[in-house]
Structure 1
Amino acid sequence: MKSNQTNVREKVVVLTGSGISAESGLQTFRDHGGLWAGQKVEDVATPEAFKRDPQKVLDFYNQLRKQMLAARPNEAHKALVRLEEFYQVDVITQNVDDLHERAGSSHVVHLHGELLKARSSVNEQVIVDCFSDQTLEDVDADGFLMRPYIVWFGEPVPLFDEAIRLTQQADKVIVIGTSLQVYPAASLLHYAAADATITVVDPNPPQGLNNIEVICAPAQVGVASLVNSLIESKNDK
């Protein structure tokens, strides 16, 4: 049950997808005919692909890591940081980049993993930082090959229960730049409280969004406008 005490900051959950990172120059497969940075997802984003050709998979994520490190947070990322001055903000992202963190967001849940980490291909609990290229010489203490810390297609999403918990507690849910077609992330809206307000920011919003506020705009423009409005509503009280 949500508190009505005026000294308790409202909880905002922000679900972000590729649209927010695209405005920093990063690509995703859904915008390119089933390709992700020029590769078929089944060749680089499945456990089977890693077993079949681990070098190809490592090369792919090494390339993505370089692209990510060259990118910079945009005004949408920065606007969400400003929102923390007035609300308790949790970011749940489908993106594997670190742009939210570099912008300054305090709490980010990466549903699909992180490019700046690697994990054992056998022991899922062995996770290490990874700031440079991975090679086939990178192994865990037992000699098993390290793989990108990415949730590939066909794998469970370990942090989904945490995402559900945060969404259930939110007073406001903001969705930015996601097609709401990738599951289980797309089902998170079903866990929002009945009295929570939901706002979708997207230049091409999904169809069938009933009883949901839609801001039909690119992420930088739409998020900045929404955040300014939410902050003004606090200042008016």
Structure 2
Amino acid sequence: MDQEVREFVRLIDAAERIVVFTGAGISTESGIPDFRSPGGIWTKQTPIDFSDFMRSDDARRETWRRRFAMEPILRQAVPNRGHRAVAELIRTGKAAAVITQNIDGLHQDSGIPDEKVIELHGNTTYAHCLECFTRYEIEALRVDFENDRIVPHCACGGWVKTATVSFGQSMPINEMRRAERETLLADLFIVIGSSLVVYPAAGFPELAKRNGSALVILNLQQTGLNEVADLVLNRSIGDTLGAVVGVD
């Protein structure tokens, strides 16, 4: 066990209430492409703004085409060693919550209860009506779309969209409040796989540090908060977390 890992273990052992904050980097090891990094999805296609989705049938159809094109990747993805290590921190009570920017549901698939996962950017594994919030399953929508090119809509007349937060769409108020509350209670805030460039989500590590929490950043690339963090590890997420927590 090298010095960085030993220090990480020491910080976890000393903490009474940990909050874990995850970004795309933890899921790339499960085969889910990053959005922002070089070669990521958004370097190949421009994101569709929420206002365009609401205004244009073509934008709605393209939004759903992209989502269904991702289905084989999402269906095959399973939690990796990093997800399992985070789940172990929750299971043992060391970590109180996971705040995530990810939309893949892999934290829940790793065994973390829904109430312990705060999804700042929503979840793409299901859809809901933007008016009445009726839930829809992706597979049923995909069949209709591929057979008849039907853009999903609800019986109430509202448009159906994946339960994610698109560009130009308001952040979920309840999740933001829960994330702030957990952040202010943390004495150790662990950032995993996030570049910390997407706000307001990236403001939570800053808030934790200002509030007196220790801050650990585990990410392959540099972030804007490296200089104020108590520990920075630019290394593999799964292998590092697995070694720290003791999970294969």
Q: TM-score range by the shorter chain?
A: 0.7 to 0.9
Q: Does 1:20 align with 2:65?
A: no
In structure 1, C-alpha distance between the alignment counterparts of 2:17 and 2:69, rounded to whole Å: 36
In structure 1, C-alpha distance between the alignment counterparts of 2:223 and 2:240, rounded to whole Å: 16
- Which structure's relative contact order is higher, taking Cα pairs within 8 Å and 6+ residues apart? 2
Structure 2 residue aligned with 1:90: 97
Which region of structure 1 is more displaced relative to structure 2, 150-159 or 25-34? 25-34
Q: Alpha-carbon deviation of 1:89?
A: 2.9
Structure 2 residue aligned with 1:68: 74
2:50 maps to amino acid? T
In structure 1, C-alpha distance between the alignment counterparts of 2:224 and 2:161, rounded to whole Å: 37
Residue correspondences, number: 217
Segments of 4+ moved more than 4 angstroms: none
In structure 2, C-alpha distance between the alignment counterparts of 1:111 and 1:24, rounded to whole Å: 20
* RMSD of aligned alpha carbons: 2.3
Structure 2 residue aligned with 1:234: none
* SS of equivalent to 1:13: strand
Q: Alpha-carbon deviation of 1:67?
A: 1.5
Q: Does 1:109 align with 2:118?
A: yes
For residues 168-205 of structure 1, the C-alpha deviation after alignment (integer angstroms, 9 at most, x for no partner) is 11121110111100111111112216331111001212
Structure 2 residue aligned with 1:214: 232
2:128 maps to amino acid? R
Structure 2 residue aligned with 1:155: 169
* SS of equivalent to 2:168: coil
In structure 2, C-alpha distance between the alignment counterparts of 1:65 and 1:220, rounded to whole Å: 24
Matches within 5 A, 1:33-52: 35-36=41-42, 38-41=44-47, 44=48, 46-49=50-53, 51-52=55-56
Contact 1:115 1:130 in 2 (8 A): no
- For the structure 1 residues 189 and 14, does the alpha-carbon distance in structure 2 shift closer, same or farther, using more than 3 Å as the test? same
Q: Alpha-carbon deviation of 1:131?
A: 3.6
- Which has more helix, going by share of residues? 2
Gapped runs of 5+ residues in structure 2?
1-14
* SS of equivalent to 2:70: helix
Contact 1:27 1:36 in 2 (8 A): no
Q: Alpha-carbon deviation of 1:56?
A: 1.1
Q: Alpha-carbon deviation of 1:86?
A: 4.1
Q: Alpha-carbon deviation of 1:69?
A: 1.5
* SS of equivalent to 1:10: coil
For residues 62-107 of structure 1, the C-alpha deviation after alignment (integer angstroms, 9 at most, x for no partner) is 2223311111110000011111214143111111101111111121
1:168 is matched with which residue: 184, 194, 198?
184
Contact 1:17 1:93 in 2 (8 A): yes
* SS of equivalent to 2:202: helix
In structure 2, C-alpha distance between the alignment counterparts of 1:170 and 1:127, rounded to whole Å: 34
Q: Alpha-carbon deviation of 1:17?
A: 0.5
